[in-house]
Structure 1
Amino acid sequence: MRLLFAGLATVDLVQRVERFPGPDEKVQSASVDVAAGGPAANAAVTAAALGATVTLVSAVGAHPLGDLVRADLATHGVTLIDIAADSPEPPPVSAVTVLASTGERTIVSRNAGNRTVAAPADGLPDADLTLVDGHHPGLAVAAARSARRLLVDAGSWRPVFADVFPHAEVVACSGDFRHPDATAGTDEATAAAVRAVGVTNVVITHGPEPVHWYGPAGTRGSVPVPVVSAVDTAGAGDAFHGALAVALARGDLDLKATIAYASRIAAIRVTHAGPRAWLSHLP
């Protein structure tokens, strides 16, 4: 099973605290982790841990911080195609603070900022399924157009999605996603706006609440997620998307079973602290 992930890779600095600091206040962290992050990168690491052959196409660059991203991806079995290999700019850096008592987190990140990159001149590798997250718009459009099957991680609306969605088999939205053409701020309105451009399936997640899905011919439903005690919610959505990509590529599950599988993987993610320790607990 060959999977292609196209999108954002960051350096994530993750600190765990007993309480969030107030303005002009310092607190001591209980732990510090540094790992590759970003929606596409985290999803790629998840998929590789679940047994897929994974390639990530992203912009990392020649800055020394990029070595952290490359090393972490290599350690976890992800092949990186760096479309900005000669760039001296640092990769995006996310400062993630996790509240130890609840697993809630705050994130400060510039994501890709104003960085403009294009797809590789010699094209993208063939894959059974492709995931794009909408970061690096030129790359997202190229990956969508060349994909055999396309899964879109739609955490929030990005203008490039107008060109990407028509190629998608599944669009997975967060509960905070708002399509500009939606007539109301409901899941039904979001799904209708996304499906209006030809998307077959829309999945909408709501953290610990049931996942809503909308399929062909007016089919719809919800899938409960496992009830767990969360200790770290950072990257949970990315883990869901990586597992969803694996299940879709396997093709041996219907949409509801696919969502249930991805939800179980995300539940494992949130019950372990740190960006990578949870991977050793996968089935």
Structure 2
Amino acid sequence: MAGRHRRLGDPANGAPAPSIAVVGSLNMDLIVRSPRLPAPGETVTGSGFSTSPGGKGANQAVAAAHAGGRVRMIGAVGSDEFGTALIGALDDADVDTRLVRRKGGPSGIALITVDDAAENTIVVVAGANAAMSSLDEADRAAIGGADLLVLQLETPLDAVTEAARVAAAAGVPVLLNPSPVRELPAELLAAVHLLVVNEIEAAALGDTRPGGGHLVTTLGAAGARYRGPGGATARAAPPPVTAVDTTGAGDAFTGALAVAWCRGDDPAAALRWACAAGALATTVSGAAAPMAADIDRVAGREPASGPDR
């Protein structure tokens, strides 16, 4: 599972932490709590409102950093106060933000309703993320020098495909979380080493397989399953937790999986660790990502040496 061109470090054994580049979105989440999700045309009285830094790209970057990766974020925010807050949140998580652009106009936002059963609905407005339509030389250098590239589909598809092409040319494995789901260009799919989908995305994509042949499907409370080249399979269940908010749980799973993949965990161990991260993320409100030591504790993995990041 270590990738096609190098075996990467494991901080628990004193090896360098993996270098992960993330090309993706940064959004400010506007979160409303309500007893249940409203039906079309219905007004429901809410019980609380909060804001939280998010966006699938930023969420996965923070999750990977918390899980022990050295992460560089490539994306765009607006010239508003949300943009400043979004960059600040990544800085606080030790994510390298030097390649995050500031664009005139509003930052991306996500309107999120969470009910008492911890289910949610999300509407995303791209804002500055829509300006992330191409890469510059600094972006390409960061991707080519990474151990793994992580992508999603909340930024323009041209930039996503270009990033995958740059990574493939440099021999860097590509992890793609195709959300929001859409038809994937053949060039993009061929460059993907590991495809991470939920059940809805899996149904929409059918029997789509990435060029690298590795497919992970998340199953909500049932955990996740893996299919690899040659018919290899694995499955893992999450630890029992009391869920408060499922927002960002899939991103916490993906970020942790990226780190486990880099350090060469076998499929079952990688799924178990990522499932633990996703489950822990549901125990707090908003898009949150657990620290490596907490994931180790609930996943039963020997904790990393040194201070907790």
Query: Structure 2-normalised TM-score?
Result: 0.78
- State whether structure 2 residue 157 is matched by structure 1 residue 137: yes
| Mapping for residues 81-96 of structure 1, pairs under 5 Å | 81-82=98-99, 84-85=101-102, 87-96=103-112
Query: How far, CA to CA, are the matches of 1:145 and 1:277 in structure 2?
Result: 29
Query: How far, CA to CA, are the matches of 1:262 and 1:254 in structure 2?
Result: 12
Q: Answer 1 or 2: which has greater helix percent.
A: 2
CA deviation after TM superposition for structure 1 residue 263, in Å = 0.4
What SS does structure 1 have at the residue aligned with 2:242? coil
Tell me the equivalent position of 1:153: 177
- State whether structure 2 residue 246 is matched by structure 1 residue 237: no
| CA distances 1:26-53 after superposition (whole Å, capped 9, x unpaired) | 52433x3322212111011111112221
Q: Is the 8 A contact 1:21 1:27 kept in 2?
A: no
Tell me the equivalent position of 1:98: 114
Query: How far, CA to CA, are the matches of 1:161 and 1:247 in structure 2?
Result: 27
Tell me the equivalent position of 1:185: none
Cα RMSD, aligned residues only: 2.5
Question: How many residue pairs were aligned?
Answer: 268
- State whether structure 2 residue 56 is matched by structure 1 residue 39: yes
Tell me the equivalent position of 1:270: 282
Tell me the equivalent position of 1:228: 241
Tell me the equivalent position of 1:54: 71
Query: How far, CA to CA, are the matches of 1:132 and 1:277 in structure 2?
Result: 18
What SS does structure 1 have at the residue aligned with 2:177? strand
| Mapping for residues 184-223 of structure 1, pairs under 5 Å | 190=207, 193-195=208-210, 198-223=211-236
What SS does structure 2 have at the residue aligned with 1:68? helix
Q: Is the 8 A contact 1:7 1:136 kept in 2?
A: no
Q: Cα gap change, 1:156/1:275 in structure 2, threshold over 3 Å: closer, same or farther? A: closer
Q: Cα gap change, 1:116/1:276 in structure 2, threshold over 3 Å: closer, same or farther? A: closer
Task: Find runs of 4+ consecutive structure 1 residues off by over 6 angstroms.
Answer: none
Query: How far, CA to CA, are the matches of 2:23 and 2:46 in structure 1?
Result: 36
Tell me the equivalent position of 2:136: 120
Q: Is the 8 A contact 1:214 1:220 kept in 2?
A: yes
What SS does structure 1 have at the residue aligned with 2:150? strand
What SS does structure 2 have at the residue aligned with 1:35? strand
Tell me the equivalent position of 1:109: 124
CA deviation after TM superposition for structure 1 residue 129, in Å = 0.9
Q: Cα gap change, 1:4/1:181 in structure 2, threshold over 3 Å: closer, same or farther? A: closer
Q: Is the 8 A contact 2:225 2:271 kept in 1?
A: no
CA deviation after TM superposition for structure 1 residue 221, in Å = 3.8
Query: How far, CA to CA, are the matches of 1:62 and 1:114 in structure 2?
Result: 14
What SS does structure 1 have at the residue aligned with 2:51? strand
Q: Cα gap change, 1:119/1:91 in structure 2, threshold over 3 Å: closer, same or farther? A: same
CA deviation after TM superposition for structure 1 residue 88, in Å = 1.2
Query: Structure 1-normalised TM-score?
Result: 0.84
| CA distances 1:152-173 after superposition (whole Å, capped 9, x unpaired) | 1123433454322211221111
Q: Is the 8 A contact 1:83 1:119 kept in 2?
A: no
Bigger shift: residues 40-49 or 134-143: 134-143
What SS does structure 2 have at the residue aligned with 1:77? coil
Q: Is the 8 A contact 1:84 1:117 kept in 2?
A: no
